Structure 1
Amino acid sequence: MKKFSWLSYGSFLLGVFSMPFFFALIYGLIRIHPYFGFFLVSLSIILSLIFGFIAISKDTEKNSIATLAIIISFGSGAFFVFGLLMSQMGSPT
């Protein structure tokens, strides 16, 4: 019988909570070094993608949450990279 496991839920939570953490980091609600914060955001997106692909490849796992998590992670990653690229346009050196 197919069911959801911690891989699906973990992938979904990591994908969803990466962007609020990114905005909290940008607006100064979290007091950590920016490089460490950006590392944590990128690590959560990468781990979400890895967990999602592992969950999809398992035969005993339902694929709906894992597929949604992968879509959210790709969107979050694209927004994160776009935000980092646009932040460098104000002061090119």
Structure 2
Amino acid sequence: MKKFSWLSYWSLILSIFSMPFLFALMYGIIRIHPYFGYFLVSLSIILSLIFGFMAISKSMERNSLATLAIIISIGSGAFFIFALLMSQMSGPTG
């Protein structure tokens, strides 16, 4: 019988965790150093992808949660990179 394991659940939790944490950092709800916060966001996205791919590769695991977590974390990663690139566009010119 196929079921979900801790890999699927942690992958989903970490993929959902990254964006609210990023918005809390941007709007000053969480008071930590920005570089450490960006490191935590990128670490949660990377760990979510690793756990998701590990869960998909297991044969006795249902793949729906892991697939959803991978899709969410790829979207979160793209938004995170886009937000970092757009924040650099308002810098001084010249």
CA offsets 1:31-75 (integer angstroms, 9 cap, x no match):
000000000000000000000000000001000000000000000
Q: 5+ unaligned residues in a row in structure 2: which ranges?
A: none
Counting matched residue pairs gives 93
Aligned to 1:68: 68
- Identity, in percent, stands at 80
RMSD: 0.8
Listed as ranges, the matches of 1:1-93 within 5 Å are 1-92=1-92
Runs of 4+ residues over 3 Å off in structure 1? none
In structure 1, what is the Cα distance between the partners aligned to 2:76 and 2:2?
28
TM-score (norm 2): 0.97
Q: 5+ unaligned residues in a row in structure 1: which ranges?
A: none
In structure 1, what is the Cα distance between the partners aligned to 2:2 and 2:79?
33
In structure 1, what is the Cα distance between the partners aligned to 2:76 and 2:9?
17
In structure 2, what is the Cα distance between the partners aligned to 1:41 and 1:34?
10
TM-score (norm 1): 0.98
SS in 1 for 2:90: coil
